[in-house]
Amino acid sequence: MTTELWGQAACELARLVREREVSAREVVLAHLDRIMRVNPTVNAVTATLDGPALLAADAADAALARGEEPVPLSGVPMTVKENIAVAGSATTLGIAALRDAVALRDASHIGELRAAGAIPVGRTNMPEFGMRWHTASALRGATRNPWSALHTPGGSSGGDAAAVASGMVPLGMGNDGAGSLRWPAACCGVMALKPSLGRIPQGGGHEPPQPAPFAFQLLAVQGPIARHARDLRLAFAHMCGESGGDPWYAPVPLAGTPVPWPVRVAVITDPGAAPEPALARAVRRAAQLLADAGYVVEEAQAPALERCGQIYHQIMSSWGRMPNQPPVETVAPGEFAQFWELFEPSWTAAAGSPAFDPMMERAAIARAWHA
């Protein structure tokens, strides 16, 4: 093969294992070796799961040797952000006090991915509580952008984005409430998917279930990071099959009724603030490619974009905290506490004029976007 195993797409790795061209053990070992060689520089993977990963790989190879039907993600390695439950591994949220908070079982979508053949090989770095646009914590230190030490890897799923970008894994599992998948993917030159609320179940892995503030239930979702769009689709298809007890979960089919052709596409080149020229050129180039392919491309304006941000901050300010939340400096001292001291006033200020009912106004803005 001209490309080493660690450089292959998840789809291709699954095919190679299914067709017995390589073993799942070879695939996992290649990525564990890549982690060993690259991670000391990047600091994206916080803990490797060598033993369980190799046991899972051997079980996959044995099943194929017995002639069992191969599963869609056979032998594909993945990393998992440290605020997602993986059985036998700590769900730290990037906080030193939770370094020993070992999950009893997988989060629902991690269990679904395992059932489809994916193999967790490592946990990944995140800022405390998943709050900040850079990935660093007092517990794990800072993650570096694999392309440039002068640039941020983004956050809060920066560990997974950097791991995927540097070939440590083809798939990373993160989450996103305010860009935590999309921003690090952009910073590291990879792809991410923030699904709609209810497509992938939240939580799981803890007994009793851990409560989450209403704002996080409403705005934060689980999602994949990959180097290829086809890998995002493959992973997503196997992340949303069980509710996990999540009341927001909706078992919506992945594929619906085909959209009548030609498909209309709205392109927004002026979001209200002057975009970076290279970004504006990229958007126009994408629009031209779609037009060349037969799509109907129409210039449009983003409905109430500034107000969207204000309503987001109102919801987070009102319903984004746990009752009796202790002072931040007692839970996450140091750099995060300094960040919070500066950020909290600007968070409140960004809420703009209060809405009579922010949920109602949010729904009205969403209808405008759907239209």
Q: Annotated active-site positions, please?
A: 81, 156, 180
For residue 149, the tally of other CB atoms under 10 A from its CB is 9
Residue with tokens 């450089």: 7
Distances, alpha carbon 178 to alpha carbons 23, 87, 156, 157, 187, in Å: 39, 27, 9, 11, 15
Structure-block tokens of residue 91: 């769900």
281 backbone dihedrals φ, ψ, rounded to 5°: -65, -40
CB 206, CB 263: distance < 8 Å: no
Closest CA to 132 of 187, 85, 178: 178
CA distance 72 to 15: 8
Euclidean distance between CA atoms 123 and 258, whole angstroms: 38
* Cα distance from N-terminal residue to C-terminal residue, the chain: 48
- Look at residues 66, 325, 85 and name the one whose alpha carbon lies nearest to residue 203: 85
The sign of the torsion formed by the CA atoms of 168, 169, 173, 178 equals: positive
With H, G, I as helix, E, B as strand and everything else as coil, classify residue 249.
Answer: coil
Dihedral sign computed on CA atoms, order 191, 197, 201, 204 = positive
- Say whether 189 sits in a helix, a strand or coil: coil
Secondary structure (DSSP) of 59-120: HHHHHHHTTPPPPTTTT-EEEEETTS--BTSB--TT-GGGTT-BBSS--HHHHHHHHTT-EE
The per-residue DSSP string of 266-317 comes to EE-S--SSPPPHHHHHHHHHHHHHHHHTT-EEEE---TTHHHHHHHHHHHHH
